[in-house]
Each structure stands twice: as structure tokens, then as C-alpha cells.
Structure 1
Amino acid sequence: MGTTVFERFPPADATITESLRDAKHAPFWLDDVERPSYPALAGSAQADLVVVGGGYVGLWTAVRAKERDPQRSVIVLEAARVGWAASGRNGGFCEASLTHGHENGLSRWPEEIEQLERLGLENLDGIEQAVRRYGMDVDWERTGQLAIATEPHQIEWLEGDGFLGQDAVRSEVHSPTYLAGNWDREGCAMVHPAKLAIELARVATELGVVIHEQSRVTGISGSGRQTVSVAGGATVTADHVALATNVFPSLLKRNRLMTVPVYDYALMTEPLTQEQHDAIGWRNRQGLADSANQFHYYRLSADNRILFGGYDAIYHFGGKVRAEYEERPETYRKLASHFFTTFPQLEGLKFTHRWAGAIDSCSRFCAFYGTARSGRVAYATGFTGLGVGASRFGADVMLDKLAGVDTERTRLKMVRTKPIPFPPEPAAAIGVNVVRASMDRADHNEGRRNLLLKGLDAIGMGFDS
């Protein structure tokens, strides 16, 4: 078994320890903003559409619903605070891909891949247009994304349009670990995650949407109009319901085994000095991601901090979402170590924040869609870490389905099919962790996938990203 560059050239333990000494255990993005509050639902209410969940999927659904029909009454119910979960904790990569990358889409829907990529770019353009139209203060930067090879076997994976050899990629971003790169200039924008959620909520309310925080939905009932019940006894009766609960347990039993929560971890540095920024280049401010199975993603914030996250993806037995899973010192130390291997010239830089969040992972690695209760309830979930951009597309799919209309979106095989469900425990935990070990082994064996991974590929269980 070989080693990776992060094992061959680790920084000193003292460098890691000192960099993390004062890091606050909190998502930087949520620490960086003031969030307006919305009242909890009290009593009973009526609406044309109820949206369950106040993250990106739910907020885009509310906004897009009002854009389609300004007279439609829309209520959003959020269990905690708007954007507090994945929508306020992610890396802020707003990608065009609807399929978790070209290769994942090509392997599953080869006959649709060109159409899916066109629709993905149109969706990203639509987000950018909304940012401009509504004057949304979200630190939007359409800088693209630079994929990086840090091991020789990864170089051929990046060949094609946008390819950069070693000298060219290092001229973009100065890292001794970079062997090659591929710059997708149009397919990704950088955004402040929490600001995007806050601004979507602002736009929604200005369009007439009513938002209720601290209003946890406990169930849906009714044979015609649906009654949505909220903890504490409040209810909303509505013609249609859009479920945007993502990583949290589905309100539909049929979807309980379709996703699992996988924890992702991130660090944020203090702002770079001009000298530190000069030392790494990065003048074009692209999002960066390396090419291993266990990959890192990193980007610059508006005030020139570096977010560095990824690599470890941790599943806990039982598939629960719990705050205690967010503190994992060994992962934060690993991320800090890999950061200083990537940028040894930044030794002495401190991390100000460390945090984690749960990703709604499904076996095909991208969202799936459907309806229930005679078409009165719709859902979009399973974004598997790529929902910042795809959430708007998911909102449009749900609204199409609730309206019962035939559109280019609803005709897609990608939209009409479902992923393979995960097995119940203990098989889920065993399977996820064995697959994770196999992917790590592939990264240490020139990318060669073992029989388990090849078998999962053959039955459509993904794990190629």
C-alpha cells in the first residue's frame, strides 16, 4: 500500500496544535451574520402550499412558487432557525452539476448527460439572475472551480478542456502538492452560505411568503387537503405540501431508508495578510478541490480567509443527527495537517473556527424526487453534499410535480427514477464503513478500485465521487 502526499510531507505536530489552539467550535458562516427571527406558528392556519424546512430547498420552493403565482399563499415551517443546518454550514460551492459531477451523471444517465449539464448551467444562471434581480447580498463570485491532481495517477482524470499542467496550475495557486489541474470556469460560483439562506428568506417574505421558525412538523394527515401538524399543537391545512427536510428523518415512511446522514468537517482560517496571500497566489479566487475519493474542498471568503474542509466523511451507527457528532478532534487535526502540507508557506496561520454538519447522502450521490398522497405531497432530497445549486432545480421539480404538469424536468429519467435504499442497521453501518475503507485503500493504491467498489458500481450504488 502506498502513501499520499499528505502522509509523505506532514507538518510538525506543534504546527497543527498551535493552529487549532483558539479555534471556536461554531460554523463561521453563521457567526459572521445577523439573522432576523421569525415567529413560531401558533393556532391554526390555511395555505395553498406549505413548505416543510427552512433551508435552501424549502426557501427556493417558496420563492419559485410565488414567482410562478404571486397570488398563491405559501407558509414555510422551520423546526429551528432559517439556514441553521446544512444551508449555513457548507463550503459555499454553488455548482451547476445536478448529478454530483460529470462522471457520476454519465455512468447513470448517459443518454441524458448533455441535457442534464445544460439544465444545470441554466439553473446556475437562474440563481445568478435572482441574486442580481433581488439585490441579494451573498458575496457571489462566479469564479469557477479548479480540480487538482495531487498524485500522478490522478493527472489523466483531469485531461480535456480546461486542463492545466503542473507549471500552469502552480501559477494559479502556489502549492508544492499540485501536479495538474482542470479549471471549469463557468460551472461553479462561490457564495456565503448563511447569507444566501438569509437573503432567500428576505426575498420570500417580500414576495408574501409567511415563515415560521421554531415550528417542528410532526406529521401530515388528510385524504384531500393536507393537515400539517406542528409540535405544540398548531396546524396548517393546505392544498399541497413540499417536503424539504433533507438529512432529517423523512415524514414519509417510504423514504426512511433512502438517505443516511454523513458528517462532513471544516476549518476556517483567520484573514490572510497581504504577504500571506501573495505567497499562495490564488488571484482568480476559484473554488479548489483535489481529486481523491476522500477529497478536500477549499475556497477564499470575501475577507480572504481560507475554508478547508472534507476528507473525512463519518457515518454513525443508527443514522442519527446529533450535535455531539460535530466535535471530532482527530478529524480537525487531520484537516489542519493536510492544510499545511498543501500550503507550507502559511505556517503560523491560525484557524478561528471549526465545525461540522450532516449531509443527506443517498446511494446515487445526487437528489431524487417524488410525490405521495395522490400528488398532494412532493419531496426532493438526497443531494449528497451538492445541494447549494441543485436545491433550486429541486424546488422547480417539486412545483412541477405538485402542479401535475409535464415539463422537460419531469420527463428526465434522472427525475423519474429512485436510488437503491440503504439496508437497515446494523448492515448500514457495516456497509458504509467498509465502503469508506475501500475508497481510502483506492486512494493509497493509485486509484485502483477493489471488487467491492466495482460491484457497487455495477448495481448503481455509486461511490465514484
Structure 2
Amino acid sequence: MTSTVFEREVPAASVIDAALAGSKPVPFWLDDVGPTDVGQPLGGEHTADLVVVGAGYCGLWTALLAKQEDPGRRVLVLESHTVGWAASGRNGGFVEASLTHGQENGENRFPEEIDRLNELGRQNLDEIEKAVRDLGLDCDFERTGSIDVAIEPYQAAELQASAAAAGQVFLDREAVRAELNSPTYLAGVWHKEETALVHPAKLARELARACRDLGVEIFEHSAATSLVPAAGGGDVVVHTDKGRVRAGRVALATNVFPSLLKRNRLFTVPVYDYVLMTEPLSGEQLASIGWHNRQGLSDVANQFHYYRLSADNRILWGGYDALYHFGREVKSEYEDRPETFRKLASHFFTTFPQLEGVKFTHRWAGAIDTSTRFCAFFGTAHGGRVSYAAGFTGLGVAATHFAAKVMLDHLAGRDTERTRLKMVRSKPLPFPPEPFASVGIQATRWALNRADHNDGKRNLLLKTLDAVGLGFDS
């Protein structure tokens, strides 16, 4: 059994201490945009044509597209906190064409549809780019592409084979290091058209601004507490602590938070992802690593890192530890985990030893809504008057735009190519209740870590979970 590169090269504790000293335990993106005027909470009795629950990307795209489709309809958005405060303001800002959490996952889950899903995913990314341009969304959008990098010999062989099969750009050791100079890199695959980068919090704020410009009403600090049929039938009533809305249609975009539909609560679990952000690199520091084409990067281990440059040349460095906490709870106290931030800092300086001395200004975490198939699932309730999408996992920024279109199709009763997809019609297997969920997830994480240390070889547990559709991807 071998050890990974991140365990063979461990920076001195003093290097890690100095880098983390003074870092703020808040998401850089949200800190960067600063406070905005908070919308009023919902109070009293209201009626609407469409209520959207959740003001992250999925909810905001749904409201925006609904209003563009029919400017005369009254659209209300209910948000429990503030626009984009959760995953939409904390993610890495990778806007990926994949709707299926990557090619391999899509091939395993939907082999008969994967080619068309890839086409729809690229079309979806093009539509987002067009919306950014047409609506003037100030969100640091860059169509940079991305590189998958190998840091172990077996990964390099796998990347070469996959690139050849898909007609993608394979980079050998010298070529990948010419793009981004790290002594850990053995090979890479450059996906030139399939990734854009954004400032996540700016995207959320700008989507909300575009919604309001069209007449969408957004109520913040208005957590939806229940969803019930209206007296007399035909409509649905959404309750908050201080008000309620009677609506003809409801779109649920609550993602990691407990669904208002109890039937869906076993379909996702919250998995915490951790992130560091450096100070802006100097010209000399940036020159030492290259990165002239500013691609997004990730390694291809089971426990992987993702990283990218911000508009002001900071490096965002996240991933590896994907942690589930017993009980499916989402709690702020899970977000500041010193041992994970130290591990991330250690891996950062192993990857870029020439950047020793760089400091991290921000450290943060957030919960990701993960399903057993690692991509979104969809459905309706209350006789088609309610639609939902959830389970986006880690590549959900672009997929939320596609999901918004699916939900609007469902709510309008439209039979479209989107609604006929197996990915849209099928459901993931639910996670078991506690304590079985916690035991199973922790055992799977251990097995994935072991595979990363053993040339990627999956043990009996992982093979069994793969066979029944209960695999786990960090």
C-alpha cells in the first residue's frame, strides 16, 4: 500500500501556523461584498401566482425565469435568512457544464442519456453566460475552463485513457506544469469549454437585483414553516412565523435544509466542506506558479481538492475533508474546525512549496446537500402545484439554472425533453435513518481514503455500494 503525495511531503508546523494566523472565520465572498440592505420579512396575508422558497441560486433562477416567461404573474421569494447566505455565497464559484456531478458519475447513473445530458449541460452553461451578459450581472464571470490533475501514477494513466476516449486535451507532466507549476503534478486533462468561474456572492446578489428589477418580491428573514393545501382546494398555502401566502404554484429550493415535504427528508444529508482563501498574490508569487490561463483546478482522488484564482489573484483552496455529523443537522458550530483547516494548509504548501510565506485571510465551511446519486433530483407534490429540486452536491452552481427550468416545466404541466429525462423522472435511493446513516457514511469515507492510498483500488464495501447505487463521492 502506498501513501499519497500529501502525506509524503508535510510542511513544518511553523509554516502552517504563520499562514493561518489572523485568518477570519467567515466566507471570503460574503465578506468581500459586504452588507446590503436587508429585505423586509413577510407579514400578514398575501396571494401570489408563484411562491419560491429559498433565495439561493436555484430559487433566484426560478423566480427570474418565471417572471421573464410571464411578466404579469406575481412572484414572491421567501428566504429564511438573507439572499445567498448559505451554499450560494460560500461555494468555490465553479460553474460547471456537467449536470451529473462529472462524467463518470453520469455514465454510471444514466448511461443511455449521458451524451444528451452532456449536450444539455453545455447548452445550460452557454445560457448562463448569455444571461450574465444580457442582464449585466456583475459577478466576475470568466469562461476559463478547468484542469483535472493527477498526483499519483495510477491517476495519470486513468486521465490519459479518459482523455483519449472523450477527445479531450491530455497534458503530460511537462505540459501540465507549464500551465500551473506544482511538483506534485504528473498529468492533467484540460476541459477548455466546460467551466466558468464566478464570484459566488456577487452572482447571488446580482440575480436578486435582476429579479427585483423585473418585479419579483423577495422577503428575507421569512422562513417557511409549513406547506398545506388551501381551504377549498386549488391553491397551496405557505406559512411563515409572521405571515402566509396563498399561491397557485410553489417551487421548493431549500436544498440542504429540511424539506417542507417530509417524504424528501431522507433523500439528502448535509456534508460539510471546508475552504481557505489566501491574500492576493504578488506579481513575483504569481509568476512562480504560472497559471496564465486562470483555469479552475481539481485533483482526481476520491478525497480531492479544488482551487482557483479570484479576480484579485487570491487562491481559493478547498475540499478533501467532506464531513457528515450525526443527526443530519446543519449547525454553525460545525464550520470552524481547526484540524481540517490545518490539513488544508499543509496540502496547499505541499502543492505549492514556492508560496511558503503566503497568508490565508479567510477560512470557512458550509453544508452541501448530498444525495446518494450526487446530482439533483426532482419531483412534484400536491397535485402538481408544488415542484422541488434538491441534492446538487458539489457541482450545483450551473445545475441550479437547469433545475429551475425543470421546476417551471413541472408547475406548468409541460411535457418537455427535460421532464422526460430519466435523471428527472427517477429518484435516488434514500439514506437510511440514524444511526445507520452515520455508521455507513463514516465507513465509506474510511474506505475511500484507503482507496486513495492503494492505487485507487476499491474494496468490497465500495464495490457493493456502487452496485446498489449508494456510492459516496467526497
| TM-score, structure 1 normalization | 0.99
Structure 1 position 45 matched with structure 2 position 46: yes
Letter in 2 for 1:355: W
Looking at structure 2, the residues matched to 411 and 36 of structure 1 have their Cα atoms a distance apart, in angstroms, of: 41
Distance 1:394 1:134 in 2: 20
Matched, 1:25 2:34: no
Q: Which residue of the partner structure matches residue 68 of structure 1?
A: 69
User: How far apart are 1:253 and its partner, in Å?
Assistant: 0.9
Partners of 2:257 and 2:316 in 1: CA distance: 25
CA contact (8 A) 1:27 1:355 kept: yes
Find the aligned partners of 1:142 and 1:157 in 2 and give their Cα distance: 26
Aligned with 2:30: secondary structure?
helix
Measured after TM superposition, the shift of residue 464 of structure 1 is 5.2
Separation in structure 2 between the aligned mates of residue 288 and residue 238 of structure 1, nearest angstrom = 43
Q: Cα RMSD over matched residues? A: 0.8
Counterpart amino acid of 1:166? R
User: Following TM superposition, by how much is the alpha carbon of 1:156 offset from its aligned partner in structure 2, in angstroms?
Assistant: 2.1
Please give the residue correspondences for 1:266-281 in structure 2 after superposition, counting only pairs within 5 Å: 266-281=275-290
The 1-side partners of 2:202 and 2:417 are apart by 31
Counterpart residue number, 1:123? 124
Identity of aligned pairs, percent? 66
Which residue in the other structure is 1:16 paired with? Answer: 16
**2:407 paired residue number:** 398
**Residues 220-261 of structure 1 deviation map (CA, whole Å, 9 limit, x = unaligned):** 1114201100013x0011000000000000100110100000
Aligned to 1:282: 291
Cα distance between partner residues in 2 of 1:117 and 1:242: 25
Unmatched 5+ stretches in structure 2: none
Kindly provide the amino acid, as one letter, of the partner of residue 52 in structure 1.
V
Aligned residue in 2 for 1:225 = 235
Structure-2 residue corresponding to 1:373: 382
The residue correspondences of 1:35-434 to structure 2 (distance < 5 A) are 35-159=36-160, 160=163, 161-222=168-229, 223-232=233-242, 234-434=243-443
- Return the offset for 1:108: 1.2
Cα drift, residue 340 of structure 1 = 0.1
SS of residue in 2 equivalent to 1:25: coil
Distance in 2 (alpha carbons) for counterparts of 1:57 and 1:36: 21
Corresponding letter in the other structure for 2:204: A
Structure 1 runs, 4 residues or longer, greater than 4 Å off: none
Which residues of structure 1 form unaligned runs of 5+? none
Conserved? CA contact 1:104–1:462, under 8 Å:
no
1:67 Cα shift?
1.4
- State the alpha-carbon separation in 1 of the partners of residues 193 and 434 from structure 2: 41
Corresponding residue pairs, total: 464
- How far apart are the structure 1 equivalents of 2:91 and 2:124? 19
Partner Cα distance (1:447, 1:36) in 2: 49
Q: Within 2, Cα distance between the matches of 1:211 and 1:192?
A: 21
The whole-number CA distance in structure 1 between the counterparts of 2:388 and 2:210 is 22
If the length of structure 2 is used for normalisation, what is the TM-score?
A: 0.97
1:447 paired residue number? 456
Deviation at 1:69, TM superposition (A): 1.1
Superposed CA offset, 1:251-288 (max 9, x none) = 00110100000000000000000000000000100000
Residue by residue over 1:154-193, the C-alpha shift from the partner in whole angstroms, topping out at 9 and shown as x without a partner, is 0122122111000000000000000000000111100000
Match of 1:32, SS?
Answer: helix
Q: Deviations over 1:125-179 (max 9, x none)?
A: 0000000001110000000110000000101221221110000000000000000
SS at match of 2:463: helix
Given residue 145 of structure 2, which amino acid in structure 1 is its aligned partner?
A: G
What is the rounded CA distance, in whole Å, between the counterparts of 1:103 and 1:70 in structure 2? 40
Deviation digits for residues 370-405 of structure 1 (CA, Å, limit 9, x no counterpart): 000000000000001111000000000000001000
Kept in 2, the 8 Å contact 1:78–1:214? The answer is yes
State which drifts further: 77-86 or 103-112: 103-112
